[in-house]
């Protein structure tokens, strides 16, 4: 049985990842300072992973075969910039350092699509749909911290025997949020559909937490055969919008005019083709199937 340690196990994505791993036969160890880790976890430890000593203690105590690092300040501007940057970068370094140091074989680090730089005035995409080769341009402490986390991951991928990868999950929607619970933005899914300017800030990207969890499973399975240090987008196969983005996106983000013409039908602004090609993964769930036509 594979023992997999999940940091941020009580979070919006962490809960689904713990459940998916346990259902797939993993022995799951949850690490989170907040309550809420699913009972499917074999053990839960409220460790402060911003402390390198505690990170090593956790890894030494459980000796996991794999680590899924999700713990972070999860949204921009929810805390001070200095705190967000310090916590997220320290977490990434400590988890990678400790995991590699005790001989963990596979480490997956959560990044964010925000490293691309959308959401600020003056940003213009180089092309659409966006993929992993698109230039990065972080403009706030959160997106910068996630880019640093990717670079930390890449550094350890070059310098250790462990296999590393980073995932950029789109706007994560937990199962209860389809039924009307507030999303991480504070709005409901219905509100994001009814008011395109809300979802337009993130280019209408999203992913069901269960689909993101399936991708983590696929990545852990395929990681030994992949080049260490790869980065993957994980997004739904459609946009969180009732209109085609070719028409809608230029209205809420004029800088995308012309480029958005390729986004015909329900095509999203973010491509997960790399994950399909290398991992055999694709998102199964859509807002249309989860909440129906509103």
Going by the DSSP 8-state scheme, the letter that residue 130 receives in this structure is: B
17/219 Cα distance (integer angstroms): 12
Q: Which residues pair with 233 in a beta bridge?
A: 168
Query: Does the residue 34 lie in any domain?
Result: yes
Which of 80, 69, 253 is closest to 146 using CA atoms? 69
Domain membership of residue 243 (yes or no) is no
Q: Do 146 and 138 contact (CB within 8 A), yes or no?
A: yes
Which H or E run includes 61? Answer: helix 52-62
Q: Are strands 163-169 and 172-173 parallel, antiparallel or unpaired?
A: unpaired
**What's the domain count of the chain?**
1
Q: Which residues of 173-203 are buried (b: 16+ CB within 10 A; e: fewer)?
A: bbeebbeeeebeeebbbeebbeebebbbbbb
C-beta of residue 16 within 8 angstroms of C-beta of residue 213: yes
The CA distance from 284 to 103, in Å, is 34
Asked, for residue 253, whether it belongs to a domain, the answer is no
| pLDDT, position 292 | 55
Q: Where are the beta strands (DSSP E) in 13-128?
A: 27-31, 43-45, 66-69, 106-110
Using CA atoms in the order 103, 104, 105, 109, what is the torsion angle rounded to 10 degrees? -140
Note the pLDDT of residue 255: 87
d(CA 140, CA 83): 12
Within a domain: residue 242? no
Where residue 14 sits, what CATH number does that domain have?
Answer: 3.40.50.720
Six token digits for residue 29: 């160890």
Residue 118, domain extent: 3-174+205-237+269-285
pLDDT of residue 121: 85
pLDDT tens track of the chain, all 294 residues?
Answer: 899 999 999 999 999 999 999 999 999 999 999 999 999 999 999 999 999 999 999 999 999 999 999 999 998 999 999 999 999 999 999 999 999 999 999 999 999 999 999 998 889 999 999 999 999 999 999 999 999 999 999 999 999 999 999 999 999 999 999 999 999 999 999 999 999 999 999 999 999 999 999 999 999 999 999 999 999 999 999 999 999 999 999 999 898 999 999 999 999 999 999 999 999 999 999 999 998 534
183 occurs within a structural domain = no
Look at residues 101, 18, 108, 115 and name the one whose alpha carbon lies nearest to residue 59: 101
Q: From CA 223, how far away is CA 28, in angstroms rounded? A: 18
- The 3-state DSSP class for residue 4 equals strand
Which residue has 């859509």 as its token pair?
Answer: 286
Tell me, what's the pLDDT at 294?
Answer: 40
Is residue 244 in some structural domain?
no
Q: CA distances (Å), 83 to each of 162, 190, 207, 294, in order? A: 29, 32, 27, 39
CA nearest 230: which of 148, 277, 166, 273? 166
- Whether 50 is in a domain gets the answer yes
Contact 102, 130 (CB under 8 A): no
Name the token pair of 265: 């039908």
- Expressed in angstroms, the distance from the first to the final Cα of the chain is 43
Which tokens go with 181?
């619970």
179 domain residue, yes or no: no
Q: What tokens were used for 174?
A: 């937990």
């Amino acid at each position: 049985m594979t023992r997999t340690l999940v940091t941020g196990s009580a979070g919006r994505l962490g809960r689904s990842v713990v459940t998916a791993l346990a259902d797939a036969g993993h022995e799951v160890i949850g690490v989170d300072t907040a309550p809420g880790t699913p009972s499917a976890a074999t053990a839960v430890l409220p460790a402060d992973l911003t402390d390198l000593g505690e990170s090593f203690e956790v890894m030494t105590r459980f000796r996991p075969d794999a680590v899924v690092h999700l713990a972070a300040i999860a949204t921009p501007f929810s805390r001070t910039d200095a705190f967000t940057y310090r916590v997220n970068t320290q977490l990434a370094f400590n988890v990678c350092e400790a995991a590699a140091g005790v001989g963990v074989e596979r480490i997956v680090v959560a990044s964010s699509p925000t490293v691309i730089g959308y959401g600020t005035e003056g940003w213009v995409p180089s092309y659409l749909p966006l993929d992993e080769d698109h230039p990065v341009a972080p403009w706030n402490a959160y997106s910068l911290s996630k880019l640093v986390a990717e670079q930390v991951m890449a550094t350890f991928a070059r310098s250790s025997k462990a296999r590393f990868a980073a995932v950029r999950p789109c706007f994560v929607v937990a199962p209860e949020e389809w039924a009307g619970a507030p999303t991480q933005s504070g709005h409901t899914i219905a509100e994001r559909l009814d008011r395109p300017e809300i979802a337009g800030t993130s280019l209408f990207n999203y992913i069901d937490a269960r689909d993101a969890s399936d991708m983590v499973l696929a990545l852990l399975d395929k990681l030994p055969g992949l080049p260490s240090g790869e980065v993957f987008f994980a997004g739904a196969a459609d946009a969180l919008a009732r209109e085609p983005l070719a028409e809608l996106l230029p209205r809420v983000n004029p800088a995308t005019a012309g480029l958005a013409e390729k986004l015909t039908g329900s095509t999203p602004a973010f491509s997960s083709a790399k994950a399909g090609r290398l991992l055999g993964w694709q998102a199964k769930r859509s807002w249309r199937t989860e909440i129906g036509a509103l």
